[in-house]
Amino acid sequence: MKTQLIDGKAFAKNMTQKIAQEVKELQQHHNITPGLAVILVGNDPASEVYVRNKTKQTHQVGMRSFMHLLPETTTQEEILNLIARLNNDPDIHGILVQLPLPKGLNPNTIIQAIIPHKDVDGLTAYNTGKLALGHKDGFIPCTPLGCLMLLKSERSRLQGLHAVVIGASNLMGKPMAQLLLQEGCTVTVAHIHTRDPEKIAQEADILIVATGCSELVKGSWIKEGATIIDVGINRIKTKDNKTKLIGDVAFQEAFGKAAKITPVPGGVGPVTIACLLYNTLQAARNVRNLNKI
Ligand code: NAD
């Protein structure tokens, strides 16, 4: 079988061009410039890279970016005070707390302190509940939203397909399963305690993998003609002592078996950032009760 690459980079570029146009129109017609506040606590190198990328792209689409780089010693109370200020600041439409947080801080308490209409990462109980109920006016977490957009661009009809999601985190696997259910897929969620995930994966028309385990999914796990979305980002050492990024799917083994697959890097990653900008734009549009674009 000829395997086709799903080009997340090109998809994200197209999306951000449309977002930039919408930002211009929002400024011209409503005098609003979307503003995104990002809170990064500590010096996790991967998080620093993600945050830098997000900030750069926020500026590129014409939005305002408010960076809060806090030392590892920051207390929970200081972070909660900052979030309370951002919640009340009319220039800020979206608030994102970069995870993971340093030990000693409670991510749950911190995330839930974000006011739901600025929760552009879609992680508060309010927005999680909206998604579970199928309400369209909440914020959906950026990575599963991006995966669904990619899937919809590649497959004209999702209804009735068997989708297997491997990984069940609040950030990715659980909201992904909700979204696929709403599209009419039959959804199976596998996780660390699942017995024989290989057998379950073999049934998948759509296979979405978000575990953080390098190349967990081998060629033998894949149904001929499946569409695969590889969410994993794993940094590994190469023989020449350099590092490279690989996914949760053994890419070479999937090639020739899957009909379509996202590469790592250049698949889900860029679309996740585009979805963050999309949610931030929507948060700003909500100020004037403007519909979703
Ligand atoms: P997480 O650690 O919160 O959750 C991992 C999930 O995978 C858990 O539900 C766990 O039960 C399951 N799991 C772990 N090992 C497993 C195994 N051997 N077999 C079956 N299930 C297993 O991680 P997360 O935040 O959901 O992220 C998962 C991966 O996706 C990571 O590699 C992360 O870097 C990546 N990620 C990428 C993006 C992106 O934009 N591309 C965004 C978020 C996360």
- The beta-strand segments (E) located in 141-239 are 162-166, 186-190, 206-209, 227-230, 234-237
Annotated active-site residue 174? The verdict is no
Regarding the domain delimited by 30-123, which CATH topology (the fold level of the hierarchy) does it fall under? Rossmann fold (3.40.50)
Q: Which amino acid is at 259?
A: A
Residue 128's pLDDT is 98
What is the arithmetic mean of pLDDT over 73-88? 98
Task: From the CA of 194, give the closest atom in ligand 1.
Answer: 20
Does 142-270 match 30-123 at the fold level?
yes
Provide the b/e sequence for 13-47 (b: ≥16 CB within 10 Å).
eebbeebbebbeebeeeeebebbbbbbbbbebeeb
Q: Where are the domains of the chain?
A: 30-123, 142-270
Residue 87's pLDDT is 98
Give the residues surrounding ligand 1 with Cβ less than 6 Å away.
Answer: 143, 166-169, 171-173, 190-192, 194, 197, 210-213, 216, 231-234, 268-269, 272
Annotated active-site residue 260? The verdict is no
Are 51 and 98 in contact, with CB atoms under 8 Å apart?
A: yes
Per-residue confidence band for 292, with pLDDT thresholds at 50, 70 and 90: confident
Counting beta carbons within 10 angstroms of the beta carbon of residue 59, is it exposed (0 to 12), middle (13 to 18) or buried (19 or more)?
Answer: exposed
Cα–ligand 1 centroid distance for 73 (angstroms): 27
8-52 tens-digit pLDDT: 999 999 999 999 999 999 999 999 999 999 999 999 988 999 999
For tokens 């409503």, what's the residue? 30
pLDDT at 174 over 90: yes
100-136 tens-digit pLDDT: 999 999 999 999 999 999 999 999 999 999 999 999 9
pLDDT at 293 over 90: no
Residue 199's pLDDT is 98
- What share of the chain has pLDDT > 90, as a percent? 97
For the domain spanning 142-270, the CATH number is 3.40.50.720
Helix (H) or strand (E) run with residue 41 in it = strand 35-41
Annotated active-site residue 54? The verdict is yes
Catalytic annotation, pick one of 57, 119, 121, 260: 121
Q: Please tell me the distance from the alpha carbon of residue 53 to that of residue 255, in angstroms, as a whole number.
A: 29
Cα–ligand 1 centroid distance for 171 (angstroms): 9
Residue nearest to atom 9 of ligand 1 (CA): 168
